Every structure is written in C-alpha cells, then in structure tokens.
Chains A and B, each alone.
Chain A
Amino acid sequence: MATPTTTEEATKSGPAPFESWGRYPAYNATVLPMHWQGDYPGMLDGIHGGALAVGMGRSYGDVCLLKDGTLLQTTSMNRLLAFDPNSGVLTAEAGITLAQILDFAVPRGFFLPVSPGTKYVTLGGAIANDIHGKNHEAAGSFGNHVPQFELVRSNGNRMLCSSRENPDYYAATIGGMGLTGVITWAQLRLKPIVSRKIDYEGIQFHGIDEFLAIKKQYSHVEYTVAWVDCLSTGKNFARGIFMLGDHSKEPGELKISPKPKLVFPIEAPGFMLNKFSIAAFNTVFFHKQMKAHVKTVQDYEPFFYPLDAVQKWNRMYGKNGLVQFQFAIPWEHAKEGTIAILSEIAKSGLASFLAVLKTFGDVPSFGLMSFPLSGFMFALDFPIKEGVTFPLMQRLGDMTREFGGRLYSAKDACMTSDQFKAFYPQWERFARYKDPAITSSFWERVMGQEGDR
C-alpha cells in the first residue's frame, strides 16, 4: 500500500530527500521510514542499490548518505524500553534522539554520559560514529557507556552485542558508520545530576601555549572546550576562549527544556558569508566575553548545545552547503601540527565561524574504527568555494597525516581513499564485519576501486 517516497523529482527541482548537515554532497535516494524493530530486514525486499540506516542526518558529509540507494530512517523507531534508576541504565530503540532521552532523564535526575554539540542526534547515530563530548578525558567516547545493543543483519540474524556476547561485532559496530547492520535498540548508562545548572568559567587565551596552561591548571574540571578565532594573524593568532564547566552540585530544579522556537528562515545568499562578515562575527564573539575571565552558573542547554537554539542554522551557508574539517593529532605533534594547520587556514583566507579546540584523553574507545586518540582535537566549518575549499581540504588532510593524526569520518566529505586507509589502517579487519547488503557513499568513496558492494 505505502509506496516509497519517489525521489526522481527531488534533486531536479528541490533539495535531496535526505540531507546531511553539511548539505554536501546532495544525492538522490529512496527514504523508507523504520517504525518497528521487526521491520528490518523485511523492508529490504525488492530494493536494489544497497541500503543504509540513518538517524537525524547530523553527520556533515556522506557517512549518512547513499547515492541512488535506500535510506532506512530510524527516527520513528524511538521507544523507551526500560529504565533502571538504580544503575541509570536506559534501554531504548535506536531512533530515539538524545533530546528525547534528556526530556525523559533530566526530570528523573539523570544526564547523558557524553554529549555532542547538538542534542538532535539519534542513539543509533551516536553509537555508529562513536561520538565524543567535552568530557573525553574523564568519560571516553559514547560507546564506552553502551553496555549492549541489538544488531540486525540483512540475513535476518539478530545479534545481542556486548563486550561478552559477539564482542567482535560489538567493537566493529561502535564507530562502524552503520556498515555492520542495523542497531534496533541499545542500552545507555546515564549519570546522576542534581541540577540543570552548570558551574561555568570562560577564560580568554592568546595562542596554544596559553591554551595548554589553562588546560593544565583546570584538569579537575569535567567539561572543557575552546573556541578559536582562525582568521586573526599576528598577535591575535590562535586567540580564543576556553570554556569550562561542571554539573552544579547545588540541588536545583530538574524540569524539561523548552522546545526551540527559532528556525533559520531562508537559504542565505552566498555573499553574506564572506571573510569580512565572519571576521566581524569572530571579533564580536571574542569580545562578547569582554572580561578575560568570567565565572557564572548557566543552564546546560546553552553550555552543551548553543547552536541548537536556532534550528537549521546550516542554511546560513546557502544552498552550496559547507564542509567540516576535523582532526585528532597525538600529543607528540599536537602543538606543531595545530599551529601549522591554523597557519595554512589563515593563509587560505577561507572564512570559518566555528573552530573548536579540545583535548582527547587516553580512555580507550571500545570501537574498532573510533576517531578519538589522545591529543588535540580541532574542528572547523568551511563554506564551499569553487576551486578553493577542496584543494585546501586535501592539503589539510595530508598535513594531518604527516603529523600522525586522523580525520573524523562523521564530519568528512573530502578524504581520499589513500588518506582514509592511512588514518584507519585497521580498515581491512573492519571490512570483514560489513553487512553485504549495506553500504554508504562514504564507504564507496574511501574504498575507491576496491569497494566491496
């Protein structure tokens, strides 16, 4: 009765039927909603061109896309299945969003063990990219808090995965970019809180050395992240604001967050985002915090999810979209690598609003293909500019490789096959766990000729 959303018209006349956050690349695909755990793999009947489970499309590049294939959108499969208030373990279907989990957990005095910069991602997506938060040093990545989940393969095999049961599939699926099968439900260990509030401190810094000094001085603080201005050179090179926070220990009200009201209204014309407007934005942001040191108590929403206040802010980049460049470089080369890359970016003159600098700790990830490694993590968005953005991304990727680092697949649209295989030399072992019916445009791209379909 229900026919799949046909998409031939979609890209001819409008946006792709399913977009990633960067809105680049844009591909045609058939989107099938998944409502129930039992829908898969039966829903594959009659489809060809491969399939891929997707969540909220909050990945930036093509890990959540499959050109001319079928995307199984999990967001209607979002039930809570069980909660144990003694252990904090929540069992839920994989299409539930972290926002929905927070609505449930916060009034009960619990919080996410790891929070990305937006709460509009699904549980399944968070596992599949083994996402990280501002507390990597203390908590590791998301998968470290997922004791078990169910993985369903295209042959109908339903596997319980944990460190004890099917441990190889457990490790391959955490950070496995959706390629090992469909996660139907998962458990997540929440942590207790007594208030919505965050004890916040913001400190201005100039240069990487000051950043490291603050980092060291505040090593007892759970959440740390810095915002860096990458347009300024000279004495303002690598200036930024170091942001620190801990869950307040003072018991406070534990109510549900209000729903966001602002939506970025239209596709911004490309000329709005030039070097000068961004430089102005960065200067305003830097001096928004006029004082060199601010100490205050704030709600967790603006602390963790400042960008969620304006829905669809990615439209600000116009219909060409944006790409994100995100690296992790080990301590050994962290400082020189970051400075070299920052200089290269400043030299290119390509504007960027958001440059985020964090440090990763040494809690090992459970995932075979997980991104974090102990050292520096750096992320920034670029508008797509003909002839400039992609060559720069190539250079930055090569530099990252020279400094022994790697790029984050969840944010990538540009890595070459060679770069990917150098960043993730374990890819061949991983490929053994890939489900033959499942693939993604990312995987096809980074496998190059050898891609197994």
Chain B
Amino acid sequence: MSTQPSSNEPVLAVRRTADNEMGNILNLHPRRILVLGATSGIAESCIRLWAERGENLYLVARNADKLAAVAADARTRGANYVDFAVADLDKTASHPELLAHAINSLAGLDIAYLALGVLGEQPKAERTFDEAGQILHTNYVAPISLLTWLANYCAQRHSGTLAVLSSVAGDRGRKSNYVYGSSKAGLSAFLAGLRNRIDREGVTVMTIKPGPVKTAMTHGMKGSEKFADVDKVAATIVKAIDNKQDVVYVPGIWRIIMGVIKVIPERTFKKLNL
C-alpha cells in the first residue's frame, strides 16, 4: 500500500535480522517474545521497550501494512531478531500451526504476550447477538484457543510466561460495556484457573488489568484526554513481566478503585449509572 523508498535497502520488509549495528544494545541473552495482536497501541509500546533491550521478537497481527511498520520500528530500535506473520486470530483452527511456526522461528519461547481485543459497540451488542458474539469471540474464545496450546507447550517444558491483557472492565459488569466486560471477566477467570494449574509447573500466568488507556480503542470516548498514557502503562507492564507478577492493575490506582466498586452492594449498584 505505501510507497517504498527507492534505495537498495528494503525499509518495510524486515525479516530475520541478527546484525547489531552500532549503538544498539548487544543483548547476550535475548528473550524470545511472541506478541499476538502486535498492532495494538499497548502492545506496540511494549514492543518498543523490548526492542530497545535487544530482545528477539515474533509479531502477529491481522493487518499486513500496520504490522510491517511495527516490525520495521522494532528492528530499527535494536531488536536482536524480528520475524512476523499476518493472521486473523479469530480463526482458531489455524492457531496450532501459527504458534508452532512462531516458536520454531524464535527457537523456543520465553514470553507470550496476548494483546488482541475489540471494544465493540455496546448498544449494538444489546440489540443483536452478532455483535455480542464477535466481542466474545475475539476477546474470549480466540485467546483461550491460543492459551490452551501455549499453556501445554510451556507446562511440558516447565518454563515460560503467558502475559495476557484483560481489563478492569471484567471486575464488575456495568451497563455501559457489560458485553466487553463479560468477555474480560471470563478471560480473567480462565487465567486464574490456568495459573492455579500450571504455576506449580514453573509457568507464569499473568493477568494484566489496565484502566482506561489512551489508544485507538478509546479515542473519542468521553474524558479520553485524561486516560492513562500508553507509554507509561507499557513501562509498568514490561516491568511486571520481568518480575513475574500474577495480577497487575495499571495504573496501580485501579486496584483500589475496583476494590471499592466490587464491594458496592448489588442493591445500590444496580441503580448507578456506570
């Protein structure tokens, strides 16, 4: 779609790169990181931080042009290795092959980071199941297909981190976005159970619950100028992954806010406009 600069050097077709040009950090123990939904605003900010550290990256997203730009950025910033695949992750049947291919390309796996998600349109989801079904599929069914395969791979090897973007919206259903919220609630519950099963096998399962963040997903929402800065959120997430935390609220204040919201008695809660 976009014009290529006329030079011998391909700008957008970035694949296998092991060269560490001058100035880039030479990472002697690069981690192998698989990012699913790599064109997400939150994921891209994390990818930049990992690239600057010289990690090895395998990026998956459904839009080829966007993915090429994200991969070029990661490569230029100093990622030790960048490979990618274009895939619509709603297609669960293709997951095993996609994941096996990614892990071959990375020669193993240290971190799988799941960022795919759609906000959907709540009013539409109230009227037609098609919209609700789509939200549930992308936010719940597809991640669970990915996680089932990845969890077994990691459990067998007794290593790896599965870091998944859920949401504070899953902590309590609210009328403004309960279909989306329920998809994230299901995802969070799945992750809690999975952690309970495979943490003892040496696999870290991490539930990441962002509050509202300034990304394409929330653009134009009321009050969105006050939402959290995506780069700050990404820095917190990357650090939490380093520390193998179980459940992370970002920004941290949301742990307290949701703590309060969760204890409001249903009798009162059902009358609120949230």
List A residues at the B interface (Cβ < 8 Å): 1-5, 33, 35-38, 76, 79-85, 91, 93, 104, 107-109, 148, 150, 158-160, 162, 165, 184-185, 187
B72 and A79 form a contact (CB under 8 A): yes
Known pairs A82-B11, A91-B5, A158-B3 / 7 extra A-B pairs, C-beta < 8 Å: A37-B2, A76-B41, A76-B216, A81-B11, A83-B76, A160-B6, A162-B6
Kindly provide the distance from the CB of B40 to the nearest chain A CB, expressed in whole angstroms.
11
User: Given that A3-B220, A33-B219 are contacting pairs, would A160 and B76 also be in contact in the complex, using a CB cutoff of 8 Å?
Assistant: no
A38 and B73 form a contact (CB under 8 A): no
Please, could you name 24 A-B residue pairs with CB atoms under 8 Å apart, sorted by A? A1-B120, A2-B219, A2-B221, A3-B220, A5-B220, A5-B224, A33-B216, A35-B41, A37-B69, A38-B65, A76-B216, A79-B73, A80-B72, A81-B11, A81-B12, A81-B72, A82-B5, A83-B21, A83-B76, A85-B22, A108-B24, A109-B23, A158-B3, A159-B3
Residues on the A chain within 8 Å of B73, using CB: 79-81
Encode contact with A along B163-181: 1 for CB under 8 Å, 0 otherwise. 0000000000000000000
List B residues at the A interface (Cβ < 8 Å): 1-6, 9, 11-12, 21-24, 41, 65-66, 69-70, 72-73, 75-77, 119-121, 216-221, 224
Please pick, from B2, B12, B65, B76, the residue contacting A80 in the complex, using a CB distance under 8 A.
Answer: B76
Kindly provide the distance from the CB of A112 to the nearest chain B CB, expressed in whole angstroms.
16
Residues on the B chain within 8 Å of A85, using CB: 21-23
Alpha-carbon distance between A148 and B4 when the two chains are bound, in angstroms: 10
A187 and B72 form a contact (CB under 8 A): no
Alpha-carbon distance between A185 and B3 when the two chains are bound, in angstroms: 10
Q: Provide the main secondary structure of the chain B interface.
A: loop
Residues on the B chain within 8 Å of A162, using CB: 6
Kindly provide the distance from the CB of A101 to the nearest chain B CB, expressed in whole angstroms.
11
Please pick, from B21, B119, B216, B218, the residue contacting A35 in the complex, using a CB distance under 8 A.
Answer: B216
Residues on the B chain within 8 Å of A76, using CB: 41, 216
Among A81, A148, A160, the most chain B Cβ lie within 10 Å of the Cβ of: A81
Please pick, from B3, B23, B65, B217, the residue contacting A160 in the complex, using a CB distance under 8 A.
Answer: B3
- A103 to chain B: closest residue by CB: B52
A36 and B69 form a contact (CB under 8 A): yes
B220 and A2 form a contact (CB under 8 A): yes
Residues on the B chain within 8 Å of A4, using CB: 220
Please pick, from A84, A108, A150, A184, the residue contacting B23 in the complex, using a CB distance under 8 A.
Answer: A108
Alpha-carbon distance between A370 and B65 when the two chains are bound, in angstroms: 33
- A162 to chain B: closest residue by CB: B6
Residues on the A chain within 8 Å of B119, using CB: 1
Residues on the A chain within 8 Å of B121, using CB: 1
B1 and A38 form a contact (CB under 8 A): yes
Residues on the B chain within 8 Å of A36, using CB: 65-66, 69
